[in-house]
């Protein structure tokens, strides 16, 4: 009906916008706008553009799934400590020098960290994972991950490692190559496929756990797969791009006024909107040195946080009773 | 038909039901009555397979409406009713439209459930249960926050579903409604079934369980629409 038409129009519009941004991402370079040499296109701009879209899509989708599954409009992989866990995992792979010897150790570390944070979250949240208890559990995990991260930074074996780690933690897609894309894509695509299948379970959960169970959609099943999918998507993304926050939180809120609040109705649009948002933000960081007196690109994670933090305050003001 | 025979059922290590032998047949509306904490909701949840260790019934055959059901999101009334089709994996528009019509909220289809009155939201939740077209309905105080007119409308609707062959188990506090609409009344106290009688005989038994006197009301009172 009316809403289905709105959804279809929104998905078409987002897809067109995304395509335009992809083209812009391939054409925009440090020297300005234009068709680059083949090596630059394939080795630099293509992986960066695809990574921004892929990671943004995964973050947007996991935000929509977590908010729906936890019945909490403030849920987000970053706020819940899953992003922090992924950063810690990737950081440990850096720290022990494993990633230098064996490149896939970095995303694997990110995935393991995200998975561990997910597991801790659902253990701490208990039988009814909802509301303030869950946010508190997430804050606890975030704080723990941040503390361990700082500890590892303090103990970093040499100053170069420290600089490298700090740079990575700020989040960004500068100088990412095709091999980064090959590392991040499989877990993100797999996690995304898992998350996209959770629509009916999320819809049923909006009426509470008993109703979901009586509709043949047990809450434990839905939330376990939501956790696994989120860990894959966020772990893969964080391993390559560092900590990029707020995309998962913001995207579903941007879509609800247009598409309604039914969780399953937001999933596909969140994929496209997340990709569009992060690709747009990455283009902004690339264009910033040309437009502003900056000596280098601002980190992507800093930009999304600058955009996201005021948004979080606005949500808190409208959601709070 | 739905039934439960159990010596003891525990929830979180605490026994909540004892010596239960319960059955509801097709075409029959059974009311569960008794004081707060008597185990009415526990028995209903046990029948729905929601207590640990119990078999989960086929969700296409058994529909369950919890007490004070709320939606976490601002779904529309139509979307809430459509959730009743999840067990079938379809979006049968006829079944949904029929359910909304039966519950008297067809004109609210596109209204958000958090922007309508409590009574209308209750009807939307009931429409979800009706849309499943299950043969067994388990309802926990479906008339709790409704005005008398709406309460009679809902109970009349349930009685109609029972006449059409559904087995209905409903937790009710309003004994008038039990007497007017149910076929059988099951009285519970401290986790046990203490009486299982034709609905017309419930008042003296319930009075004993509540520790209240009873008598014939000499004052005017509201009657069901069928008395007109």
- Determine the pLDDT at residue B163: 94
Tell me: do B126 and B143 sit in the same domain: no
CB contact under 8 A, B73 and A263: yes
Tell me: do B139 and B210 sit in the same domain: yes
Q: DSSP class of residue B39?
A: S
CB contact under 8 A, A262 and B73: yes
Q: Which domains are delineated in chain A?
A: 37-319 (1.10.3470.10)
Check whether A321 has a pLDDT greater than 70: no
- Determine the pLDDT at residue B139: 96
Radius of gyration of chain A from its Cα atoms, rounded to whole angstroms: 19
Residue A64 CB neighbour total at 10 angstroms: 32
> Of the ranges A61-65, A201-205, A207-211, A293-297, which one carries the lowest mean pLDDT score?
A293-297
Matching residue, tokens 């100088």: A175
Tell me: do B25 and B56 sit in the same domain: yes
**Res. A290 pLDDT band, cuts 50 70 90:** confident
User: What total of structural domains would you count in chain B?
Assistant: 2
Give the mutation candidate from A214, A221, A318 for the B interface (greatest B CB count, under 10 A): A214
- Determine the pLDDT at residue A31: 67
Minimal C-alpha gap between B49 and chain A (Å): 8
Tell me: do B120 and B140 sit in the same domain: no
Asked which of B109, B133, B157 is the last residue of a domain, the reply is: B133
Check whether A126 has a pLDDT greater than 70: no
What pLDDT digit, counting tens, does each position of A240-282 carry? 888 888 899 999 999 998 899 999 999 999 999 999 999 999 9
- Determine the pLDDT at residue A70: 85
Residue B214 CB neighbour total at 10 angstroms: 13
What is the value of ipTM here, to two decimals?
0.91
Nearest CA in chain B to A1: B110
CB contact under 8 A, A215 and B59: yes
CB contact under 8 A, A206 and B73: yes
> Of the ranges A96-105, A118-127, A226-235, A282-291, which one carries the lowest mean pLDDT score?
A96-105
Does residue A261 belong to the interface with chain B, where contact is any CB pair within 8 Å?
yes
Give the mutation candidate from B44, B57, B72 for the A interface (greatest A CB count, under 10 A): B72
Distance CA A174, CA A168 (A): 10
Q: Which residues pair with B185 in a beta bridge?
A: B31, B197
Distance CA B20, CA A301 (A): 60
Residue A79 token pair: 């706020």
Tell me: do B57 and B127 sit in the same domain: no
Helix axes B118-131, B148-163, angle to 10 degrees: 10
Check whether A26 has a pLDDT greater than 90: no
Tell me: do B147 and B206 sit in the same domain: yes
Instruction: Assign residue B51 the CATH number of its domain.
Output: 3.40.50.300
Residue A226 token pair: 């939501």
As to burial, measured by CB atoms within 10 angstroms (0-12 exposed, 13-18 middle, 19+ buried), residue A316 is exposed
Minimal C-alpha gap between B68 and chain A (Å): 11
**B-chain residues within 8 Å CB-CB of A211?**
64, 66, 69, 83
What pLDDT digit, counting tens, does each position of B104-148 carry? 999 999 999 999 988 899 999 999 999 999 999 999 999 987 888
Asked which of B112, B133, B154 is the last residue of a domain, the reply is: B133
Nearest to B83 among A2, A68, A215 (CB): A215
Distance CA A270, CA B85 (A): 25
- Determine the pLDDT at residue A130: 52
Backbone angles phi, psi at B166, to 5 degrees: -80, 150
Nearest to B83 among A1, A71, A207 (CB): A207
Minimal C-alpha gap between A282 and chain B (Å): 32
Tell me: do B122 and B159 sit in the same domain: no
Tell me: do B125 and B52 sit in the same domain: no
Give the mutation candidate from B11, B45, B73, B79 for the A interface (greatest A CB count, under 10 A): B73
- Determine the pLDDT at residue A119: 84
Asked which of B81, B115, B133 is the last residue of a domain, the reply is: B133
Radius of gyration of chain B from its Cα atoms, rounded to whole angstroms: 18
As to burial, measured by CB atoms within 10 angstroms (0-12 exposed, 13-18 middle, 19+ buried), residue B20 is buried
pLDDT per residue of chain B (228 residues) written in tens, 0 to 9: 788 888 888 887 888 999 889 999 999 999 999 999 999 999 999 999 998 888 889 999 999 999 877 888 999 999 999 999 999 999 899 999 999 999 999 999 999 999 998 889 999 999 999 999 999 999 999 998 788 888 999 999 999 999 999 999 999 999 999 999 999 999 999 999 999 999 999 999 999 988 899 988 888 888 888 887
Tell me: do B86 and B24 sit in the same domain: no
CB contact under 8 A, B69 and A263: no
CB contact under 8 A, A71 and B70: no
Does residue B11 belong to the interface with chain A, where contact is any CB pair within 8 Å?
no
Distance CA A233, CA A60 (A): 10
Question: Which is higher by pLDDT, A203 or A321?
Answer: A203
Nearest to B50 among A1, A214, A260 (CB): A214
Does residue A244 belong to the interface with chain B, where contact is any CB pair within 8 Å?
no
Tell me: do B153 and B227 sit in the same domain: yes
The B residues from 83 to 102 touching A (CB cutoff 8 Å) are 83-84, 86-87, 89
**Res. A309 pLDDT band, cuts 50 70 90:** confident
CB contact under 8 A, B76 and A214: no
**Res. A128 pLDDT band, cuts 50 70 90:** low
**Res. A319 pLDDT band, cuts 50 70 90:** low
Q: How many inter-chain contacts (A to B, CB under 8 Å) are there?
A: 74
CB contact under 8 A, A213 and B56: yes
Tell me: do B105 and B209 sit in the same domain: no
The domain containing residue B80 runs over which residues? Answer: 70-133
Half-sphere exposure of B168 (CA within 13 A, CB side): 34
What pLDDT digit, counting tens, does each position of A200-241 carry? 999 999 998 889 999 999 888 888 888 889 989 998 898 888
The continuous run of DSSP H or E covering B205 comes out as helix B202-210
Tell me: do B166 and B150 sit in the same domain: yes
pTM: 0.89
Nearest CA in chain B to A203: B83
- Determine the pLDDT at residue B191: 92
Residues B142 and B119 sit within 8 Å (Cβ to Cβ): no
Nearest to A206 among B45, B75, B110 (CB): B75
């Amino acid at each position: 009906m009316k809403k289905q038409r709105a959804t279809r129009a929104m998905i078409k519009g987002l897809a067109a916008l995304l395509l335009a941004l992809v083209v812009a991402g391939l054409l925009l370079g440090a020297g300005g706008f234009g068709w680059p040499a083949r090596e630059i296109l394939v080795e630099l701009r293509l992986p960066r553009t695809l990574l921004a879209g892929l990671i943004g899509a995964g973050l947007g989708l996991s935000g929509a799934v977590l908010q729906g599954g936890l019945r909490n409009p403030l849920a987000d992989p970053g706020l819940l400590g899953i992003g922090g866990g992924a950063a810690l995992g990737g950081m440990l792979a850096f720290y022990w020098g494993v990633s230098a010897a064996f490149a896939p150790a970095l995303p694997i570390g990110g995935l393991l960290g995200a998975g561990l944070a997910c597991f801790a979250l659902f253990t701490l949240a208990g039988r009814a994972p909802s509301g303030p208890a869950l946010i508190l559990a997430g804050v606890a995990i975030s704080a723990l991950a941040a503390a361990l991260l700082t500890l590892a930074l303090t103990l970093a074996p040499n100053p170069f490692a420290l600089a490298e780690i700090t740079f990575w933690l700020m989040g960004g897609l500068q100088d990412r190559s095709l091999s980064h894309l090959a590392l991040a894509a499989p877990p993100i695509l797999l996690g995304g496929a898992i998350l996209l299948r959770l629509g009916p379970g999320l819809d049923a959960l909006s009426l509470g756990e008993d109703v979901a169970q009586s509709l043949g959609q047990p809450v434990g099943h839905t939330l376990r797969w939501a956790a696994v999918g989120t860990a894959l998507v966020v772990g893969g993304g964080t391993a390559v791009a560092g900590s990029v926050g707020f995309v998962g939180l913001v995207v579903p809120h941007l879509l609800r006024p247009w598409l309604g609040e039914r969780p399953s109705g937001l999933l596909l649009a969140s994929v496209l909107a997340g990709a569009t948002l992060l690709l747009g933000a990455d283009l902004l960081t690339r264009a910033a040195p040309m437009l502003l007196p900056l000596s280098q690109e601002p980190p992507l994670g800093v930009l999304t946080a600058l955009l996201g933090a005021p948004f979080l305050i606005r949500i808190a003001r409208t959601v709070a009773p | 038909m739905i039934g439960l025979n159990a010596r003891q059922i525990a929830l979180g290590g605490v026994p909540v039901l004892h010596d239960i032998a319960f059955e509801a047949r097709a075409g029959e509306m059974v009311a569960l009555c008794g004081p707060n904490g008597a185990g009415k909701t526990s028995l209903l949840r046990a029948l729905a397979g929601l207590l640990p260790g119990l078999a989960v019934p086929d969700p296409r055959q058994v529909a369950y409406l919890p007490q004070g059901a709320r939606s976490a999101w601002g779904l529309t009334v139509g979307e809430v009713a459509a959730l009743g089709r999840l067990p079938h994996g379809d979006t049968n528009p006829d079944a949904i439209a029929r359910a909304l019509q039966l519950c008297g909220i067809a004109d609210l289809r596109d209204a958000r459930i958090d922007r309508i009155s409590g009574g209308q939201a209750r009807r939307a939740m009931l429409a979800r249960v009706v849309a499943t077209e299950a043969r067994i309905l388990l309802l926990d105080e479906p008339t709790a926050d409704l005005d008398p007119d709406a309460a009679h409308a809902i109970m009349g609707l349930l009685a109609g579903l029972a006449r059409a062959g559904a087995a209905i188990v409903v937790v009710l506090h309003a004994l008038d409604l039990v007497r007017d609409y149910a076929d059988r009344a099951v009285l519970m106290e401290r986790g046990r079934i203490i009486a299982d009688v034709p609905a017309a005989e419930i008042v003296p038994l319930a009075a004993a369980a509540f520790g209240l006197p009873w008598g014939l009301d000499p004052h005017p009172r509201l009657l069901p629409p069928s008395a007109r």
